[in-house]
Amino acid sequence: MNETPIRELSADVGEARPADGTGTARRVLVVDDGITMRLFYRSVLETAGFAVDEAINGVEGLEKVLTKPFDLLIVDVNMPKMDGYSMLRAIRGVGSVESIPAVTISTEAGDRDAVRAYEAGANFYMVKPVAPDELISVARLMTGIPIGIPAP
């Protein structure tokens, strides 16, 4: 019987088609404690040509950011061990990774919540649920891919 290996959810960044037609896929780290949300973001972003890695909380996310190169961070706000705000503040204090663009995504829709995210170091704030086309547009914008280039 021919068995196909199943890729683990915590696997390294998978292969992806380039989102910008240059031959290099932009690398995105999705940090969210919800497996359903991680799978949704992964599916949407990989379909759009991004290479995606995952972390289940801010501690794991911070470790990955410090050991692997990423072009974009998609960060949930409310997580165990280390929330998204704390993770972003830690990243913004490390010179070698402080400039990685970060999008925070939260169920909190108040203006104060967005301000708190921006104060922690977010470049963009989104409220769940996020539509796939909106997520792709923001990811392209944050990674320097012109919106008008069609996905491969």
Q: How confident is the model at residue 24 (pLDDT cuts 50, 70, 90)?
A: confident
Q: Does pLDDT of 5 surpass 50?
A: no
The CATH number given to 27-142 is 3.40.50.2300
Q: Measured between alpha carbons, how far is 119 from 83 in angstroms, rounded to an integer?
A: 14
What are the residue ranges spanned by the domains of the chain?
27-142
Mean pLDDT over residues 73-84, rounded? 96
Q: Does pLDDT of 140 surpass 70?
A: yes
User: Which pLDDT score, from 0 to 100, does residue 147 have?
Assistant: 75
- The pTM is what? 0.84
User: Which pLDDT score, from 0 to 100, does residue 12 have?
Assistant: 38
For the beta carbon of residue 116, count every other beta carbon within 10 angstroms.
18
Q: Does pLDDT of 133 surpass 60?
A: yes
